[in-house]
Structure 1
Amino acid sequence: MSEARPGVFCLGIATLDYVYSVETMPTRGEKYRSRDLAVVGGGCAGNASVAIARLGGACWLATRLADDLTGDAIVAELNGEGVDTRFARRVAGLRSPVSAILVDAQGERMVISYSDPQMPEDTGWLPRELPEGAGAVLADTRWGEGALAALKLARAGGVPGVLDGDRRPPHPDLVGTASHVAFSQQALREISGEEDPSAGLAKVAAGVPTWLAVTLGKQGVLYVEAGEVRHIPAFAVESVDTLGAGDVWHGAFTLALAEGQGEVAAIRFASAAAAIKCTRFGGRAGAPGRDEVVRFLAQAGS
């Protein structure tokens, strides 16, 4: 019998994205023509879970959706990617999350998203313990109480609990409860009050025992080790679409931790996966497989 794949329990938002390719971002209230269109699942946790599955990891996704056609499409695509959606809660009478996204010729994006404000905040339906085989937890910031519950499950299970800090954490205990937090530059600026990400990271790190990092896109990743802020550069690629790259990074990083890789190796692995994704249009549709990342790192000398 083959050994079970290391798994990641993910919690957070899953959406349906309409991704339009445009030459430049609109600046006036008039009609524009899209060069391409991808209708694909999205959302921080949704994208990360697909990235994990494509990289060869087992993945369970806890997410809140409506009992509507959009929710059906989101779940069907996740299942098709090999993500276990038994923990997807379907709520009657509401609307599932959806986004309209413009991606310009430089690969930068503009996102207009909708999440139903009536979606219940209660966490009573979440599992009391991690699924068998889950070697790490990944939570985003879209549902604070849910993220806190998931990170507490990681602590109880003695496995890494990673917070995708792409927005300012909505619950004051999230950063301290996580074992690892990787901020976006904006979220780090908001929580630290510092414009310089190195200074901001050092400031936040002084108050918590959590391992901290900040992802800076083309500028790479800063992380704290032994009280010092260190830097790992990004891989140089020709970006076509950056949509979902951060989510792919977090999924790959958490899977690497679940596999027993150290943080520096996990950063390199995650950065390679995100770099490959940026070379492809269509949001998470461009998330790579494991063999692609291994070849990419070998060619890069990592």
Structure 2
Amino acid sequence: MSLGKRVKVCVVGSFMTDLVFKVQRFPKPGESMPGEEFGLFLGGKGFNQAICLHRLGAEVVMVGRLGKDYFGDLFLRKMAEEGMTTEFVRQDESAGTGVACPIVDRSGENAIIGVARANLRIDLEQVEAAREELESADVLMLQFEVPHQVSFRAAAIAKKVGALVILDPAPVHNVQAEIDESVDYIVPNEIEAQALARGLKVEDWAAREVRAGRSGVVISIGDKGALVFDQAGQRHFPPFKIKPVDTTGAGDAFRAGLAISLAEGKGIDAAVRFANAVGALACLVNGAEPSMPHREQVEKFIKEQE
């Protein structure tokens, strides 16, 4: 990346309307309990990462699919307000916008149920329509909330012209047997890493991926920070100390921070430290989209921690 150039990141991913319930504690099976708060927020791993990247200063192109409904209109309006292009976001006539129900307890921990809906209808033709954008991207970000064949077709296009490909292998039940060789960095959380390891120790699985040619594996481990595995070995990066309000979207913020740092030419260690700061700030505000920080906030936060 040349000095002063705004990095470009393409995101092929999901939109999910988050219907968030705040509770004292998680309910037990069969238990009905009163909630403490309710909120409607715009989310989805793809959208969260895209809007966070935009606020961090990247030029962002998102490829995704919404329903032709009230929720879909909310997403398009928000992207327009933020100054993001919606050229490659389509509205589906026959499937509604994806919906998720995060439940957040008083400690800020969350559990999420999601129904993908229109996200599953993004197709190869939609990726081909965005070919020029993919071929001019510095980084491509992928998740598993859209069909695998769509994600990996986008990866093949971007990789051919030298883009860095980053995969967030979530949700975990969508993890397939093999991750396409076009992926440079696999960035799971602890649960996803264990699923990908398939009985191996996570450390052994990550080392195997690096030996196979990956640039690295970065595992986000919540309030314990992050682990990096690459040719230099294994390293732990401690988190910034905060009192979380809502952890929904924090993992997406972490991945956005990692992606823009790598796109800007930072080394992996500096990128993970920056990503930890972005993720920490995202824990301080309710909801996914509202919690995605701007670049100035992150830089101020890091300076205050020094």
TM-score of the superposed pair, with normalisation by structure 1: 0.90
1:38-117 matches, within 5 Å, as 38-116=39-117
Alignment pair present for 1:200 and 2:201: no
Q: State how far apart, in whole Å, the 1-side matches of 2:193 and 2:242 are.
A: 25
Contact (CA 8 Å) 2:11, 2:142: kept in 1 or not?
Answer: yes
Unaligned runs of 5+ in 1: none
State which of 139, 143, 150 in structure 1 corresponds to 2:142.
Answer: 139
- Paired residue type of 2:77: A
Contact (CA 8 Å) 1:13, 1:46: kept in 2 or not?
Answer: yes
Contact (CA 8 Å) 2:135, 2:158: kept in 1 or not?
Answer: no
The more displaced of 194-203 and 121-130 is: 194-203
User: Deviation per CA, 1:169-189, whole angstroms, max 9, x where unpaired?
Assistant: 645564421121111211211
Alignment pair present for 1:215 and 2:223: no
Q: Partner residue of 1:164?
A: 168
User: Deviation per CA, 1:77-97, whole angstroms, max 9, x where unpaired?
Assistant: 233233322111222121110
4 and 76 in structure 1: CA distance in 2 versus 1, 3 angstrom threshold: farther
Q: Partner residue of 1:271?
A: 276
Q: Give aligned-pair identity as a percent.
A: 25
State which of 229, 232, 238 in structure 1 corresponds to 2:234.
Answer: 229
- Paired residue type of 2:159: R
Q: State how far apart, in whole Å, the 2-side matches of 1:167 and 1:21 are.
A: 22
Q: Partner residue of 2:131?
A: 128
Hey, which of these two has a bigger chunk of helix by percent? 2
Q: How many equivalent pairs are there?
A: 300
Q: State how far apart, in whole Å, the 2-side matches of 1:34 and 1:137 are.
A: 38
TM-score of the superposed pair, with normalisation by structure 2: 0.89
Deviation at 1:29, TM superposition (A): 4.0
- Paired residue type of 2:223: K
Contact (CA 8 Å) 1:121, 1:145: kept in 2 or not?
Answer: no
Q: Partner residue of 1:242?
A: 247
Q: Partner residue of 2:287?
A: 282
Q: State how far apart, in whole Å, the 2-side matches of 1:145 and 1:213 are.
A: 23
Contact (CA 8 Å) 2:63, 2:126: kept in 1 or not?
Answer: no
163 and 118 in structure 1: CA distance in 2 versus 1, 3 angstrom threshold: closer
User: Deviation per CA, 1:206-233, whole angstroms, max 9, x where unpaired?
Assistant: 3343421111111111112325221111
64 and 170 in structure 1: CA distance in 2 versus 1, 3 angstrom threshold: farther
Q: State how far apart, in whole Å, the 1-side matches of 2:194 and 2:103 are.
A: 25
Deviation at 1:115, TM superposition (A): 1.6
Deviation at 1:288, TM superposition (A): 1.1
